[in-house]
Structure 1
Amino acid sequence: MAKQLGYHTIREIFTRFHEADPEPKGELEHVNAYTLVVAVALSAQATDAGVNKATRKLFQIADTPQKMLDLGIDSLTEHIKTIGLFRQKGKNVIKLSEILVRDYAGEVPNSRAALQGLPGVGRKTANVVLNMWWRHPAQAVDTHIFRLGNRTGIAPGKTVDAVERAIEDNVPADFQLHAHHWMILHGRYHCKARKPMCPTCIIRDLCPFEDKTV
């Protein structure tokens, strides 16, 4: 775990991220808030690419909670069977759809507490939905962000919650909205777990990671 970077260094890092990609986007395909919730819930322990492949046809026929209930668990399971833990995830999607229809008139709530009350929706999923759909500066910490936060000193922490708080505390306010997307993408494609691409990294000179690749 690297030591916490100073404010000016972190600002420079995110300035470079912004210059390289001013409007970073999440890679999960969706057409509305409901399909975003479903996609993120399905993405646990799965790749975004794998989820997108499974949901393209699904969301063409079931893009609302009621349509998903009309589709039914058996057909839903058939659509998502290539995704890890698909049986439990399918049950969660049906249950959360029932709750949305019953308690929220089929609409996705825009509060973290309400979102986390849905089956299969944890804090990370709730933060992704709040950020991507309602543009709240919520920080969804996945394995890429956890690694990057600790390697670089942007947001060191021993737990996911600690890293989330560190991002909220350390990243300048004007970069908060896109912070987790920049960090996910940099961690996924550059600061990889086994072979980080340090020679071509745009923040190499600012990063204190001791085991940089040559």
Structure 2
Amino acid sequence: MNTSLATAAPRRRGPTLTRAEIHEFFARLRELDPEPSTELEYTTPFELLVAVILSAQATDVGVNKATRRLYPVANTPQAILDLGEDALRRHIATIGLFNAKARNVIAACRILVEQHGGEVPRDRTALEALPGVGRKTANVVLNTVFGEPAIAVDTHIFRVANRTGLAPGKDVRAVEDRLMRVVPDEFLLGAHHWLILHGRYTCKARKPDCPACVVRDLCRFKDKTPGGLEPG
């Protein structure tokens, strides 16, 4: 581990991280990955929007496999409307809930064409009005495409926020609101991606890889998996 990553952390002061610890938490994640990004493959705002709609209860790997087949054929709202729901369904049939998702994507494309000139709107209300788009999806699009300081709390971020003491909350909205209050401004744009990647690959649900975790000495999780020495 780099010396800067092994800097001694402030003393623990209860079940949640202190302001100084939160800054250190994100500073370490940033040092490991200075420019975090989504693992969904896309080249346009619309492609990302569709990918995020398809990603509900599905893996990014599975979504990417489907969109690699879909996007060369149709990657704009009008092109997908021209493709039709039946053909769209066949392209995404490997993804869970593909019937409902095909209906939502078609309905969303129709609204984009009729109300937004075929463009993805940079507006939360307009995004959440699209079928298949909730607050989490809107946050992903606003953050990833438009550079807005939004955090989409999925199961990974919810787990990391509660387990580490970073931003405990009883539901995803409570965690989102708390994260938006406690994450320092300099880390807000990347926070969503740092936290989701940390939860996906290190702070895993069943067996977190605590020995390899760069924030383990800051983390409040009582049942850390053994191995290695805590810095400081």
TM-score grouping bracket, smaller chain normalisation = over 0.9
1:73 aligns with 2:85: yes
Query: Aligned-pair RMSD on alpha carbons?
Result: 0.8
* 1:200 Cα offset (Å): 1.0
Partner Cα distance (2:66, 2:75) in 1: 14
Q: Which runs of 5+ in 1 are unaligned?
A: none
Q: What's the counterpart of residue 163 of structure 1?
A: 175
Q: Which residue pairs with 1:192 in the alignment?
A: 204
CA deviation vs aligned residue, 1:121-162 (integer Å, no higher than 9, x gap): 000000000001001010000000000000011111000000
Q: Distance in 2 between matches of 1:45 and 1:176?
A: 26
Task: Tell me the CA shift for residue 5 of structure 1.
Answer: 1.1
Quote the offset at 1:88 in angstroms.
Answer: 0.4
Aligned to 1:48: 60
Q: Find the residue that maps to 2:42 and give its secondary structure.
A: coil
TM-superposed deviation, 1:165: 0.6
Contact 2:157–2:199 (CA<8 Å) still a contact in 1? yes
Question: For the pair shown, which has the larger CA radius of gyration, 1 or 2?
Answer: 2
- Paired residue type of 1:107: E
How far the C-alpha of 1:31 sits from its partner, in A, is 1.5
Aligned-partner Cα distance in 1 for 2:203–2:61: 19
- Aligned pairs (5 A) from 1:43-192: 43-192=55-204
TM-score (norm 2): 0.91
Amino acid at match of 1:76: L
Higher-helix-fraction structure: 1
Q: For 1:208 and 1:150, locate their aligned partners in 2 and report how far apart those are by CA, in whole Å.
A: 9
TM (normalized to structure 1)?
Answer: 0.98
1:95 partner letter: A
Which of 28, 43, 54 aligns to 1:31? It is 43
Give the Cα–Cα distance (whole angstroms) in 1 for the partners of residues 98 and 76 of structure 2: 19
**Between the two proteins, what is the percent identity of the paired residues?**
61
Counterpart Cα distance in 2 of 1:9 and 1:122: 32
Give the ranges of 4+ consecutive aligned residues of structure 1 lying more than 6 Å apart after TM superposition: none
SS at match of 1:204: coil
Separation in 1, partners of 2:109, 2:140: 18
* Alpha-carbon distance, 1:28 to partner: 0.6
| Alignment-derived partner of residue 4 in structure 1 | 16
* Cα drift, residue 58 of structure 1: 0.5
| 1:31/1:63 contact within 8 Å kept | no
Deviation, 1:4, is 2.2
TM-superposed CA distance for 1:62, in Å, is: 1.0
The residue identity in structure 2 corresponding to 1:142 is D
SS of match in other structure, 1:205: coil
Query: Can you give the 5+ residue segments of structure 2 that lack an aligned partner in the other structure?
Result: 1-13, 227-232
